[in-house]
Structure 1
Amino acid sequence: MTVESTTERVLRVLALLQSRPSWTGVELAEELRVTERSVRRDVERLRALGYPVRATPGVGGGYQLGAGTRLPPLLLHDDEAIATAVSLRLASGSTIAGAAEAALRALTKLDQVMPPRLREQVRAVYGATETVVGAGTEIDADVLIALARACRDATRVRFRYTTRHDVDDERTVEPVRMVAAGPNWYLMAWDVDRDDWRTYRLDRMREVTATTWRFRPRKHPDPAAYVQRSVTESPYRYIARVRLHAHAGQVRDLVPPQVGRVEDGPDGWCVLVVGGDDLDWLALHIARLGFEAVIVEPPELRQAAALLARRLSAMATVTD
C-alpha cells in the first residue's frame, strides 16, 4: 500500500469520525474495506497528528473524536470551508442562500475539537465585539452548538420555553433539525410530553441542556416545510387561501417564507396561504401584491375585502 493511499484513507477515517459520535472498529473496517488492524494503525496516525481519538473497549465500545489539548489541522468539506469564510461576511449584513446551515456544521466541528483555552478566547472576542445587523433576534452561539450536537447525536434536550402568549414552562424534546426562516431560528422536534411534533423559536429558549438520553430517530415531515407551515399558519386566528394570477416565483419574491406559503398552480396561477388575526390587514396585504386575486377561504375574508373595496371606492369619489 502506497503512502498516498494511506494518507487518503486516514483522511477518510477522520471524516467518518466527524460525521457521527461513535464508530466500532468493525464498522470502520467495513466502510473503508480494510482490516481492523489497518483501522487501528490509521487511528494511531491521527493521534500523532494531534487528533484526540478515544477508544472504548468491550461491547458497545468504539472510536470517538474528543476535545484535544491543541487544535490539530481540520478536515472540512468544501461547502463548509466556503461557508466558514462567508459567515465572516454575514456579520456585515450579507445574505447567502444555504450558508447559515453549512456554517453551523463547521462551527460544531470546530467547537468539538477546540481546547478550553481557545474556546475561552473565542468567547472573549464575541463579548468584545458589537455587530450591526438587520431586523432579527440574536441567538446565543452556545445554544446553536448544543442543539446542533443534539440533532446530530440523537439525544434529548431539556429547556425552559416562553410561548407567544407569555406562558413559561419546561419542555423535553427529541430534536430533528434547526431551520433559519427570515430573521428567526426555529427548532423542529418531537415533544415528549405532548406526543407530537412542535416548532420552537430559539430566542424563546432558556437553560438549554442536552441530556444523556439517546433516542431512535422517528420518521418525520420535511423540517423546512413543517417549520414554514407552523410559522405562517399555526399562530393565527384566520388562515387565508388565495388564488393569484401570477407565477409562484413572482409571489415568493414579494412574500417572505416566514409570512406566507406559495403553492404552484396551473395556467399561470398559484395559491398563497397566509395567516393573520386581522381580516382587514389580510385583505389589504393581498391587494397590495398587485395581482388578480380570488379568495378561496375563509368566507369572512371575502366579506372584509368587499367592505374594504367600498371604502376605497368612496374615498376615490369626487364630490362637489
Structure 2
Amino acid sequence: MKVYIDIGRRILDEGVWLSNARTGQKTLAIIGATFEHDLSGGTVPAVTTKKLFWRSAIAEMLGYIRGYQSAAQFRELGCNTWNANTNENQAWLDNPYRKGEDDMGLCYGVIGRAFPGVEGDEPMDQYKKIVTDLSRGIDDRREMMTFNHPNLIHRACLPACLHTHHFNLLGDDLYLESYQRSSDYAIGQPFNHFQVAFLLLITAQITGKKAKKIRHHLSNVHLYENQVEIFKNEQMNREPLPLPKLNINPEIKTLQDLETWVTINDFELLDYEHHPAVKYPFTV
C-alpha cells in the first residue's frame, strides 16, 4: 500500500496532462512504475485505502483463463467489467467485426488460450503450454502468455491493458513478471495488481509449485481528469491497513478444474480490513 500511495503521489507531483482521443478525457500521466510483492509471506496486495471488489477481479481472471469472449459469460461468473466496453463504446458499436451484443472481439483470454496460427497452423493455447511445462518442472525461459495480438487490435473492443505474463521457475519457486501498457490508476490498478497475484497463486497451485514473487510493470500510469481531485482529497489521505490473505479451495488441482467447475465461491479473502469505497467516474 505504501508503494501504491507513493506512485499516486508521483502522478500528482510529476504528471503531465495528455489528451486521449478514444475517451475524450484528459489524463494526468507518468511513464514507468513497478509494484513488487512477495507472496510467500502469505499476504496478497489488496488495496486497503478503499474497498477492492476482489471477487469481481478473480471472476474476470477466471474468464480470461477460460478464453471467454462475451460480457455475458463474465456476468455469469460475477464480473460486470466488460458490459460498458462491449455495449457502450461507440467505436466498437460501429466496428464491422463486432458480432453483436456483449461481444468482446479478439482480446484477452481469447488470444491467451487460442493465439491465431499462421499458414494453416493451429491456434496456440499459451496458458496450457505454461501449465504443462511447469507441472513437469520445465522452464524454457519462454513461459509467456500474451493477451495482445498487434495485427488484430482492430478486432478487439479494447486492446489488452494488462497484456503479458511471464512465469519463471527457480527450483520449486514460481515467479511472475507482468506487463501493463496502460494503467487507470484509480479504478483499474488495484484490480489488476490483485489479479497478477491471483494468477501466480492459482498457477502455482495447479502446477504443484510455490508462489514466490510478483513484479507488475506499468508503462503509461494515469489518472483521468475527473478522478484527480477525488484521488487527492479522499484516497491519498487514508492510512493503509494490514494486508489480507487469500484462501484458495485446495480441491482446485488442474487446469481442467479452472475451466469447468470453479467459481468465485472457491476463494476467500481473509482478514480484509479496508476504508470505505471511493466512487470514481468510469471512463469508457
Bin for the TM-score computed over the shorter chain: under 0.3
Q: TM-score, normalised on structure 2?
A: 0.21
Using CA pairs under 8 Å that are at least 6 residues apart, name the structure with larger relative contact order, 1 or 2.
2
Q: Compare the two structures and name the one with the higher helix fraction.
A: 1
Q: TM-score, normalised on structure 1?
A: 0.20
For the pair shown, the structure with the greater C-alpha radius of gyration is 1
